[in-house]
Chain A
Amino acid sequence: MNPLLEVRNLVTKFYTLDGVVHAVSGVSFDLQEGETLAIVGESGSGKSVTVLSLLGLIPTPPGRIEQGTALLRTPLGQKDLLQLSKAELRDVRGGQIGFVFQDPISTLNPILTIGEQIKETLTRHLHLSAEKAKAQVIKLLAEVGIPDPEMRYKAYPFQLSGGMRQRVVIAIAIACNPHIVIADEPTTALDVTVQAQIIDLFNRLRRTLGMTMIWITHDLGVVAGLADRVMVMYGGRIVELSTVDDLYERPQHPYTAGLLGALPRLDSQETRRLVSIRGTPPDMLLPLRHCPFSWRCDYASERCWQEIPELTSTAPGHEVACFYDMEKGGLRDG
């Protein structure tokens, strides 16, 4: 089946006073209808820039999308998101692709009612009358689990808790029945208990609406219960792409293995110290000539300092960009 979204060789750079930031360097992935793809990686690895590029939400200047295609296939035909005019992009944003951002405190306009902020998406894309739009907003508020939706329609963001605000942001994202919902670290700013509630909500919406979703997080721990596939990013590149189960069972990239090792395990008796991967994330100002992870990698060999490993398939539905074979020990052939 043709994927709903097909991203190929996306390259986005920022031309800053300090130099060129190679934020995303040749990212390719597919998104099938109905699936949830998690994008995982340390802060600064290019997760946000990848998805913001798709919607033309990169601040330009300093940002520039240098290469790539992003085909969105809808019942009405297919289009390359990176080639759309500004007006066409505006129809896609909020209408065909909904967005949930990280911090619900700052992502809502402090001086407009939440009802108004949901309604304006509806009137913009679906051209509903004021009355119908209001009824629809109230339905949406109920759908994302906000109690007393009729009363809350007139509430301002500061009158709601962080979790409730994030529900409002989710209502905005799903308001127009988009083909894809992109959630950029939607639970990072929330308390652990609220986090779990928001994840539950996403899971429910996924089931009831058949929602296709890209879920960005820097926490592999929350991915397992939510995603179908995982894309691990490092230094602006994909280092591993796999189904969730396969990734947890047989991580192929030393970085992924490190991330998994750094997870606190709830099922183990011994209290393991939270280990993090040694070293710091790569300097995105340098154009890359070798594996971005070689600085921090326990398995790095000479080849890793000379070439950039390509993403290659190791098993059905499992790709990795690494010369080292973690299972056999030693360099991969080819």
Chain B
Amino acid sequence: MQRYFLSRILQSLVLLFGVVMLVFFMVRITGDPATLMMPRNASPAQVEAFRESMGFNRPVLVQFWDFLRGAVVGDFGNSLHFKTPALQLVIQRLPATLELATAAMLMAILIGIPLGLIGGFNPGSVLDSVARGVALLGQSVPNFWLAMIMIIFFAVRLGWLPSFGRDEWKSVIMPAFALGLSTMGQIVRLTRSSTLEIRGEDFIRTAYSKGLLPLTIYSKHVLRNVAIPLVSIIGVQFGYMLGGSIYIEFIFSWPGIGQLLEQAIGWRDFPMIQALAIFTSLAVLMLNLLTDAAYMIIDPRIRYGAR
């Protein structure tokens, strides 16, 4: 088990290096930041001087090596736009994104799992139709469209919720719902289908034949088995959410990582983009490791390497 985790951590590091490399070179393919950052009427000499001062005129591999050496100790260079360390800016935005992602995931789990369970235990019932409806909506409604409809309805018409910013606790409701809906749909669908499957398993019939109470059977025998496939969806989706949602944060002016990324791309703020991309991949990779750990806790077959 320890060896397994060690190899997974190594794997993650290799992957992270790949991401770093990809991001570094791809950003550079999109164009020269110097021309964008200098005033339109700047002379070629001025542009050249700027390039020189930023180190953009050195061979690309040298720049990459420099970048790597900095990145290892958490130095991603200064943001071209803000002129302050890029990593610090990312960290400043982290709480907002963390809040949004957590709220979205909680909403998806707290509504999605019960709905999926109800649907799976009562296939064909009215509540099952609701569950399947939510699953379908979650997968077919684009989140930016939902965001705008919600703003029109709850902010403009009814005036119940603020339409932008992060000033009060109510601010998070709409962006979280818009961000979490598709995950909620996936959770409902998966919970429902695996409940249906587990419910028909022989060991559930055994549980009934022991005279156990239905509540014990649902919570101990069904739910724990249903939780196994759910773990991976929740882990993967939370990783994406931590990377910040560009659309949602843009629409709701949510001061998180997604918004920062959107601005950084506009400004061709290389160090900023690099820091953001690397932070995001790091979050996804760490969540994958956590997901693995969660699997081991829930499923002994994985813990003992039988699967």
Contact = CB atoms under 8 A, between A and B. Distances in A.
Interface of A: 55, 57, 89-95, 99, 101, 103, 106-113, 120-121, 124-125, 156, 158-159, 169, 172
A125 B299 contact: no
Interface in B65-110: none
Residue with the highest number of chain A CB atoms closer than 10 Å, among B202, B211, B212: B211
A5 to B, nearest CB: 16
Contact of B208 (A57, A112, A113): A57
Contacts of A89: 211
B121 to A, nearest CB: 13
A17 B129 CA distance: 21
Contact of B304 (A91, A109, A159): A159
Given A101-B206, A169-B206, A92 B301 contact: no
Shortest Cβ-Cβ A-B pairs, 10 listed:
A93-B211, A94-B210, A94-B211, A106-B202, A99-B209, A90-B211, A109-B203, A121-B210, A156-B300, A107-B206
18 contacts: A57-B208, A89-B211, A93-B208, A93-B211, A99-B206, A101-B206, A103-B202, A107-B202, A107-B203, A109-B225, A111-B225, A111-B299, A112-B221, A120-B210, A124-B212, A124-B213, A124-B216, A158-B304
B207 interface: yes
Interface residues of B, number: 24
B203 A55 contact: no
A48 to B, nearest CB: 11
A106 B201 contact: yes
A40 to B, nearest CB: 22
Nearest to B222: A109
Given A93-B211, A94-B210, A101 B225 contact: no
Contacts of A99: 206, 209-210
B301 A172 contact: no
A89 B211 CA distance: 7
A124 B211 contact: yes
Contacts of B298: 111
Nearest to A158: B306
Query: Is the contact region of chain B dominated by helix, strand, or loop, or is it mixed?
Result: helix
Contacts of B210: 93-94, 99, 120-121, 124, 172
A106 B201 CA distance: 7
Contacts of A90: 211-213
Nearest to B204: A109
A286 to B, nearest CB: 27
Contacts of B212: 90, 94, 120-121, 124
Contacts of B299: 111
B205 A101 contact: yes
B28 interface: no
A105 to B, nearest CB: 9
Contacts of A101: 202, 205-206, 209
B301 A93 contact: no
Contacts of A95: 211
B205 A57 contact: yes
Interface string B212-230: 1100100011001100100
Given A101-B205, A108-B203, A156 B304 contact: yes
B203 A110 contact: yes
Which of B210, B212, B221 lies at the interface centre, i.e. has the most chain A CB atoms within 10 A of its CB? B210
B203 A125 contact: no
Nearest to A109: B203
A202 B226 CA distance: 35
A159 B210 CA distance: 22
Given A124-B211, A159-B306, 12 more contacts: A93-B211, A94-B209, A101-B205, A109-B207, A109-B225, A111-B298, A111-B299, A112-B220, A112-B224, A124-B210, A124-B212, A158-B304
Interface string B234-259: 00000000000000000000000000
Given A107-B203, A169-B206, A158 B211 contact: no
A113 B303 CA distance: 13
B301 A109 contact: no
B160 to A, nearest CB: 44
Given A156-B301, A158-B301, A158-B306, A108 B211 contact: no
A110 B299 CA distance: 8
B223 to A, nearest CB: 11
Contacts of B203: 106-110
Contacts of A103: 202
Contacts of B201: 106
A99 B228 CA distance: 28
Nearest to B300: A156
Nearest to A172: B210
Nearest to A95: B211
Contacts of A159: 304, 306
